């Protein structure tokens, strides 16, 4: 079995054929799916999908690109739902900062404030975090440590191969490996993967984004987790069955499913 720990099934690109997408994935051995909370506007749809399909779970959270839509009361209204398994995806993303140096610094501060609020929610409600980090490894690590995020645990979604983040495994964090590991230019991730404790690895697609080779350019979907598992097996010198078994065990432990 495989658990896709990060798949945006609430995205409009799955709206017309979701049943077919899930059936294809089930044929490949995918047993469960977690929809991250990224955009508050689609949270209601994520909940509806989780209520419709036994194998689907969801998280509540706000991506740093959507931080102006952060509404703690709304998140709390969903966090007690029996199929809510995490808080996030939340975190820091400095990739698209624009404006003057002062404006960029203000946006960083605001992202950090919203990130800290969501860490507090995760600890208060005993939910693991789904953490998004892009071009912000140092600040993210500092905040996770300052806020005692290890008390909640979580996953570094789409792990960016920054080795300074590896020590977070000692604080209860897992590392989400997706289609990027199959890319020809994924040299850093290929080198970092063997350094991650195998009991802290998870599989994710981030569909409909980051489609693995040889399907790049197409919509990503959970059936492609097998391609990720196969590449991980090659890099770690073990069988695909071993990767599937271990990552499924890890996901069940972290998300309590």
Span 48-66, pLDDT tens digits: 999 999 999 999 999 999 9
**C-alpha separations of 93 from 66, 135, 159, 161, 248 in Å:** 11, 6, 13, 15, 28
Number of structural domains in the chain: 1
pLDDT of residue 87: 98
- Looking at every residue in the chain, the average pLDDT score rounds to 96
CA distance 108 to 140: 11
Q: What's 155's domain CATH number? A: 3.20.20.140
Give the H/E segment covering residue 88: strand 84-93
The residue-averaged pLDDT of 194-217 equals 97
pLDDT-derived band at 40, boundaries 50, 70, 90:
confident
pLDDT of residue 182: 97
Q: What is the pLDDT of residue 1?
A: 92
pLDDT band at 209 (very low <50, low <70, confident <90, very high): very high
| 38 pLDDT above the threshold of 90 | no
Structural domain for 155, as ranges: 2-255
């Amino acid at each position: 079995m495989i658990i896709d720990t990060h798949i945006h099934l609430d995205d409009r690109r799955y709206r017309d054929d979701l049943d077919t997408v899930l059936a294809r994935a089930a044929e490949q051995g995918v047993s469960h799916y977690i929809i991250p909370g990224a955009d508050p506007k689609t949270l209601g749809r994520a909940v509806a999908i989780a209520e419709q399909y036994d194998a689907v779970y969801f998280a509540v959270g706000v991506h740093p690109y959507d931080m102006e839509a952060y509404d703690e009361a709304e998140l709390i209204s969903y966090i007690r739902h029996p199929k809510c398994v995490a808080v996030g995806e939340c975190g820091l993303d400095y990739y698209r900062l624009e404006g003057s140096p002062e404006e960029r610094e203000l946006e960083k501060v605001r992202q950090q404030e919203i990130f800290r609020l969501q860490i507090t929610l995760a600890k208060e409600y005993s939910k693991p975090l789904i953490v998004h980090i892009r071009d912000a490894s140092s600040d993210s690590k500092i905040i996770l440590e300052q806020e005692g995020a290890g008390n909640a645990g979580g996953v570094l979604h789409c792990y960016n191969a920054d080795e300074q983040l590896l020590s977070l495994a000692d604080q209860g964090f897992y590392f989400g490996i997706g289609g990027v590991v199959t890319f020809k230019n994924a040299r850093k991730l290929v080198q970092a993967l063997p350094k991650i404790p195998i009991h802290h690895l998870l599989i994710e697609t981030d569909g409909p984004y980051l489609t693995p080779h040889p399907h790049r350019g197409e919509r990503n979907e959970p059936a492609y987790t097998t391609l990720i598992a196969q590449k991980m097996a090659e890099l770690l010198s073990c069988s695909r069955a071993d990767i599937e078994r271990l990552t499924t065990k890890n996901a069940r432990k972290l998300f309590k499913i």
